[in-house]
Amino acid sequence: MSKRMLLQQQEQKNVGAHAAPEDYDDDYFDDEPSGDPQITHIDKPPIDLKTTCSPINVQSKVGYAQCKDKCSPAACCLSFFYDHQPTCLETNEVACGEYDTFCEILNFDHNGDGMVQYQEHVEVPLPPSNLREVCEWDELTTIDGYQQCESACEKGKCCYKSIETCQVTNPEVCEEYDACEILIVQEVLTVPKPLPGLDKICSADSIVETVGFKTCKDACDPGECCREPIETCKVANPDMCREYAECSILSGNPQTHPDAVASQVQLSCTTTNMQTADGVRECQEACNPGLCCIGGADGKGEKCNFIEYAEWCDQYAGCNLLHHVDDGGFTSNKNAKDAVDTACSDFSAAGIEACKNICDPAKCCFKLNEECSESGMGDVKCIHYAPCGHLYVNDQDPNTSTTIHKGVAGQIDFEDENWMDEATAIVELCTAEKLETEDGLNNCMELCQDKLCCFADAEQNCLKSYGSLCMIYAGCQPLDDFIHS
């Protein structure tokens, strides 16, 4: 059976009863919305909206048209149908939000062919030749200067959206727009010269113990803004910020500072590493200097003074997992996930703190704009940490999600032209038959574990934020069905 036939077969399984009638005419694919922009009340969306607008269904023109029809009752508040401000959102906030979760996929048809493919091609024009001059820091000190830079960057805005199609199809052009990043800086700060010998004060060995950690932090505090992801003081104080480079160990990760205490704990104390006895021992060794932070190896000992040692203890947060595993390690994926689930089932203040600590190595799983491999945590199994999602419910951070998003990277190479092969491989590995075996389930889970939010219900669905990547993982649908069966 050909790869394309496999995809078609998988599509038929998922679409099922939603296949289009044979007598659909060309008007069915008309781009004009059928919804009424004057509607003042919108009912809840149909129960089959999630299925009709699933990533695999909209890969055909029929499926895409079906999705559009299902979404049209909410046309007055969906950006796909109208460019102007929504006319009925204020009076239908709940219903519009539920529609928007699944109807957002209509916007992924970037090339306008009436369906959503694995890779939509979008052309980004070259920026003005004087972009770097227009967007220099000195030019942004006036309103006119800022607006000129903003206007010059307008046509390349999509280059700064995570996993956006134009980044994939226009990588070289997008690089030409990097000067536009200056538009998001907000505040000018003056950074003083750091203490001499900062490299020794803030070495990996120095911050293992409390005194050394505090000495390093005190020395780094004057240049704290230099460690912010995008901060104006780095622009206004480039030379001075470079002198504070050693301080990045306090906020680094296993990718940038693999020898740092926090990095060693994060790498050693994951459910993945602790599936063996050797992995448990590695976590214990990394945690020994900070055992007082977790009340000892068994959790029943006396804890350090929280107020005095709080920031130092943050390095050892992941050590709390030692309280939920025996010396032999987790014996299966289910046991690992159950341990996290148990640790995060207590919603008291103390329970939430314990959950937060255990989930520390998997923070990347809930970041919308970051793959775990970018922070050196590519081996973390995000699906084990799904119970950690409740930590992000009220954090007010637009860059986090309550559902696992991007975890183990490297499953899809965005510069690889053979995207069909990648998508087909997922379909072949994740058949209902193969999911009945332990090896088959594990193989499919390795590929799909961090993309199941593409098939989740409205409150947890990530189509809107995850974008076109869900199309590559359309073949993961059987795994989602298996988990919820």
- Structural tokens at position 388: 């950690």
Note the pLDDT of residue 236: 67
Provide the 10 A C-beta neighbour count for residue 23: 6
pLDDT of 92: 87
- Element counts in the chain: helices (H) and strands (E): 22, 0
In this prediction, residue 467 has a pLDDT band, given cuts at 50, 70 and 90, of: low
Give the single-character DSSP code of 330.
-
Bridge partners of 400? 367
Among 314, 315, 365, 320, CA closest to 342: 320
**CA of 227: how far to CAs of 74, 216, 243, 250, 482, in Å?**
44, 14, 12, 9, 44
Average pLDDT in the 347-363 region?
86
Residues 370-402 as b or e (16 or more Cβ within 10 Å = b): bbbbbbbbbebbbbbbbbbbebbeeeeeeebbb
Most confident option among 28-37, 432-441, 454-463: 432-441
Give the Cβ contact number of residue 466 at 10 Å: 24
Cα–chain-centroid distance for residue 87?
A: 31
**Could you tell me where the beta strands, DSSP code E, fall in 339-484?**
none
Its pTM surpasses 0.85: no
pLDDT for res 32: 43
- Highest mean pLDDT, choosing among 30-39, 155-164, 198-207: 198-207
Q: Which two tokens stand for residue 420?
A: 């069909």
CA–CA distance, 327 with 319 (Å, rounded to integer): 14
Q: From the CB of residue 196, how many other CB atoms can be counted at a distance below 10 Å?
A: 10
Give, for 358, the enclosing helix (H) or strand (E): helix 349-358
For the chain, the first-to-last Cα distance in angstroms comes to 28
pLDDT confidence band for 34 (50 / 70 / 90): very low
Residue 9 — pLDDT band, cuts 50, 70, 90? very low
